[in-house]
Amino acid sequence: MSERHFIKAGQGGDRDVFEYAVLRVVPRVERGECINAGVLVYCRAKAFVGARTHLDEARLLALDPMADVAGVRAALRAVEGVCAGGEAAGQAARDDAGRRFRWLIAPRSTVVQPGPVHTGLTADPATEVERLLDLLVR
């Protein structure tokens, strides 16, 4: 583990706490097999919630050759829409960033599921979304 993961009390600097969860695609819920397909990031201090997705279609079809790829892509786009807010968020558009994040990370038994929530420190939550997507999904 690199030095950047160890922070002593009072040494957070200009970084803020953020929370994140990996979005998993579980094509056959009864089997429990999954692939990582996106990340959700929430930073309360910056009132930021963001999501980025990347679906590896070949990996999905390896788990389930009959998977509804278009349906999975639509579900992932919907998550990004809720994070973006505005018209794409539907009824969630009126909710603040924290409430939208909490709704998205609520456990569910669907094809697109959130993983456990983890925390970290960041100076730029939007950059963190991209970093985590590269690290955990691609």
**The predicted structure's pLDDT at residue 9:** 47
Q: What's the CA gap between 43 and 31, in Å, rounded?
A: 33
**The predicted structure's pLDDT at residue 2:** 46
**Cβ distance 128 to 122 under 8 Å?**
yes
Q: What's the CA gap between 58 and 61, in Å, rounded?
A: 5
Q: Which one-letter DSSP state was computed for residue 3? A: G
In this prediction, residues 110-133 reach a mean pLDDT of: 95
Q: 5 is written with which tokens?
A: 């993961």
Q: How far apart are the first and last CA of the chain?
A: 21
Q: 138 is written with which tokens?
A: 């691609």
Label residue 85 by pLDDT band (50, 70, 90): confident
**Mean pLDDT, the chain, whole residue set:** 88
